[in-house]
């Protein structure tokens, strides 16, 4: 199995919306580190698993969308607690919509909200030709 990992970082704000969230219920800032790990059993005709330029473009769009924003105000978090777990799933959905290399069979998104805590969402990638 081949893997390719790309990192991006940005600062964004959120507050948790669950009952009794304690201090996390107040708006606060995180320096998020987003790690995308693409996996697949074979390379394409150019000996790539995924086109890094496409991944970097997707990361640039993620940065533009989320940097310096209040996550709670974005439609993808409407009616959802903007937890780091939910954020990882949202990023997975956005990236798999944009990066469609047929050799990629799985994507793992790991988001670090600080040096000690992270969450991940990983799943099989729908076939690009389907």
Sheet with 106-112: strands ordered across: 2-14, 28-40, 106-112, 118-124
Task: Encode pLDDT of 19-73 as tens digits.
Answer: 999 999 999 999 999 999 999 999 999 999 999 999 999 999 999 999 999 999 9
Q: Which two tokens stand for residue 37?
A: 């790990």
Q: Which two tokens stand for residue 39?
A: 């996996």
Task: Encode pLDDT of 76-86 as tens digits.
Answer: 999 999 999 99
Burial class of residue 106, CB neighbours in 10 A (0-12, 13-18, 19+): middle
Domains of the chain, CATH where assigned: 2-124 (3.30.479.10)
Using CA atoms, how far apart are residues 24 and 48, in angstroms rounded to an integer? 42
Q: Which helix (H) or strand (E) holds 4?
A: strand 2-14
């Amino acid at each position: 199995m081949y893997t390719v990992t790309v990192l991006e970082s940005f600062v964004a704000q959120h507050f948790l919306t669950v009952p009794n969230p304690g201090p996390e219920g107040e708006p606060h800032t995180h320096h998020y580190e987003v790690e995308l790990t693409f996996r697949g059993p074979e390379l394409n005709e150019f000996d790539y698993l995924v086109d890094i330029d496409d991944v970097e473009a997707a990361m640039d769009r993620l940065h533009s969308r989320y940097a310096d924003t209040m996550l709670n105000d974005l439609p993808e978090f409407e009616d959802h607690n903007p937890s780091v777990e939910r954020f990882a799933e949202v990023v997975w959905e956005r990236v798999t919509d944009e990066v469609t290399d047929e050799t990629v069979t799985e994507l793992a998104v790991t988001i670090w909200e600080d040096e000690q805590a992270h969450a991940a969402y990983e799943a099989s990638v729908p076939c690009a030709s389907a």
